[in-house]
Amino acid sequence: MSELVEIGGDMGLPQGAKLSILKKDAISVATGIVAVVETALAVSGISLHDMIPGQVWWVYLLIVLAVFAALVVSIRFILACLYREHIELEINGNRIEIVEGDLFAQDGKKVVPFNEYFDSDVDDIVISHSSLNGKFIDCHVDDLAELRSEIESEKSSPLPVYDRDGRRQYDLGTIKRFGEDYLLLAFSHFDEQKQARLTMAEYERCLMNMWQELCRAYAGRPISLPLLGSGITRFDDVRQKSVSELLKCMLCTLRSTGCYFSQPISIVLTSEAMSKVDLYEMKGVSRYGL
């Protein structure tokens, strides 16, 4: 697990990959275009001197460099526009889409984070009405007693359950099925101040457990997840992670587990989160791994 600690920073990518993936790809495409044009001119017997006669050598060099720089800027802009609203990746044969939208409007199984006790009291103390957890209970649970009953009766997870002062405390990453469309996730600890907390190591272990649990529970249907760790959860031992760092952590833990899903996985971002992330940089995870 120690190699995953770097996920919150540079993801353990090769040194060259720590540069902007978008810049590297723009330079690569521009280099290919220049090479093709140069080859075409050589075959045609045309040189830059023929097109712009009477200049010293360094002027021709400056022209080539200026054209190359303009190509890089243009290609970078085009790629950024193409991947501004969503991106599709492949990790261990899994199809991953990062997209802006409403988690509850997605098809298939939807993952909803809870605390380690699967508490369901939406009172702005235990669970906030404005949180994803609160919105799920307020808008998508018709019978709270039924929710609590299904959580208690669903025992298919192999992860351990603990007794904490007469309450069931579930291992982080545990998945509980609810109805046909929802997978409930034990995502965070809950302290005496009713605050959701994690260390970075616990966050990574939770994600590793979660991917294994989803393999067990997804029933061959598409899976949609929110950006885990971006809400009110606090990290005890590190600064709060950026959207990009959390996304990279989710993707890299999937790679590390080796889990395979026959259906696509969507990580659904809010508009605010989407505005804070460079989606194209996520290609580094798919391309280089750890």
Are 67 and 90 within one domain?
Answer: no
Asked, for residue 6, whether it belongs to a domain, the answer is no
Are 205 and 99 within one domain?
Answer: yes
Report the domain count for the chain.
Answer: 2
CATH of the domain at 220: 3.40.220.10
Are 137 and 170 within one domain?
Answer: yes
Are 51 and 108 within one domain?
Answer: no
Question: pTM, whole model, 2 decimals?
Answer: 0.79
Domain span including residue 186: 86-288
**Phi-psi category of residue 3: left, alpha or beta, with phi > 0 → left and psi -120 to 50 → alpha:** alpha
Task: Examine the pLDDT at 61 and tell me if it is beyond 80.
Answer: yes
Average pLDDT, the chain: 86
Are 176 and 247 within one domain?
Answer: yes
CB 269 within 8 A of CB 277: yes
Look up residue 110 and give its amino acid: K
How far is it, in rounded angstroms, from Cα 213 to Cα 134?
23
Task: Examine the pLDDT at 76 and tell me if it is beyond 60.
Answer: yes
Q: How far is CA 36 from CA 31, 45, 55, 69, in A?
A: 9, 14, 24, 16
Asked, for residue 233, whether it belongs to a domain, the answer is yes
Asked, for residue 106, whether it belongs to a domain, the answer is yes
Strand ranges in 64-203 using DSSP code E only, listed in sequence order = 86-91, 94-100, 109-115, 161-164, 167-170, 175-178, 182-190, 196-198
Are 133 and 148 within one domain?
Answer: yes
Are 117 and 194 within one domain?
Answer: yes
Last residue of a domain, one of 82, 98, 121: 82
**pLDDT, tens digit, 9 for 90 and up, residues 1-39:** 444 434 444 434 444 445 578 888 999 999 999 999 989
Are 217 and 152 within one domain?
Answer: yes
Are 273 and 172 within one domain?
Answer: yes
Alpha carbon dihedral 172, 178, 182, 183, in 10-degree steps, equals 20
pLDDT reported for residue 107? 94
Are 74 and 170 within one domain?
Answer: no
Q: Which residues pair with 260 in a beta bridge?
A: none
Asked, for residue 4, whether it belongs to a domain, the answer is no
Last residue of a domain, one of 41, 64, 82: 82
DSSP string, 59-74: HHHHHHHHHHHHHHHH
Q: What percent of the chain stands above pLDDT 70?
A: 90
How far is it, in rounded angstroms, from Cα 39 to Cα 33?
10
Question: Torsions phi, psi of 51, nearest 5?
Answer: -75, -35
Are 77 and 96 within one domain?
Answer: no
How far is it, in rounded angstroms, from Cα 279 to Cα 18?
15
Alpha carbon dihedral 246, 252, 257, 259, in 10-degree steps, equals 90
**pLDDT, tens digit, 9 for 90 and up, residues 222-245:** 999 999 988 766 777 667 788 888
